[in-house]
Structure formats: C-alpha cells, structure tokens
Amino acid sequence: MPTISRDEVSHLAGLARLAVTESELDTFAGQLDVILDSVARVGEVAAEDIPPTSHAVPVTNVFREDVVRPGLSREQALSSAPATEQNRFRVPRILNEEA
C-alpha cells in the first residue's frame, strides 16, 4: 500500500506554491494515500489481453463538417466600424507607448 509522508506533502505544496497548515498536511497525506492506492489497484487489473482505452464508451465527433462559405469583404467588414485607418479598424490607444 503506497504511503505519502507529511514531508512529501509539504514538498509538493511548496512546488505548487500552496500555503498549507499543519493539520492540512495530515489531511492531504491521507487523501493522497487514497489516490495512490486507487491508481495502484487499477495497475493490478491491467492485463496484456485488455487494450488500453481513453474512454469507457466509444467517442464520436458531434461537430458538423467544415464547409467553406463566402465571408465579408474587407469593405463590408469595415463599413460599420466607427473609425478606420489604412483599411483597418481604428481603436483608442490603451497604452502610452509609441507605435
């Protein structure tokens, strides 16, 4: 049965930049033990004659096929713009940087 120590939980929390209390170290260590045990049990079940799968049921694409359709011309797209400049949308400057 895999076990994870408080020190390992503290180290992982440090890597993830999480602030954890002393009581949380014990809680998380127990929770991570359950997760590691579950993963180990799944590994025991895996057999050579069972193909690896990513989903329990078959997955099919429900999106429609891409169909090329005519879009707006540049003039049409810019026709409703409040301001244009050099065939582009003109928007207010939001930074005080030089272009």
What are the backbone dihedrals phi and psi of residue 38, each rounded to the nearest 5 degrees, phi first? Answer: -65, -45
Q: Please report, as a single letter, which amino acid is at residue 52.
A: P
Is 65 within the bounds of a domain?
A: no
Q: What percent of the chain has pLDDT over 90?
A: 55
Range of the domain at 21: 6-45
The total number of structural domains that make up the chain: 1
Tokens of 9: 């939980």
pLDDT of residue 24: 93
In CATH, what number is assigned to the domain containing residue 28? Answer: 1.10.20
Stated pTM of the model = 0.46
Is 19 within the bounds of a domain?
A: yes
The CA distance from 2 to 45, in Å, is 17
pLDDT of residue 62: 85
Is 60 within the bounds of a domain?
A: no
pLDDT of residue 60: 86
Is 20 within the bounds of a domain?
A: yes
Is 36 within the bounds of a domain?
A: yes
> Each residue of 18-64: pLDDT tens digit?
999 999 999 999 999 999 998 888 877 767 777 777 888 888 888 88
Which 8-state DSSP code applies to residue 63? Answer: S
The CA distance from 20 to 86, in Å, is 55
Question: Within a 10 A sphere around the Cβ of 28, how many other Cβ atoms?
Answer: 19
Is 56 within the bounds of a domain?
A: no
What is the distance, to the nearest Å, from the Cα of residue 44 to the centroid of all Cα atoms in its chain? 29
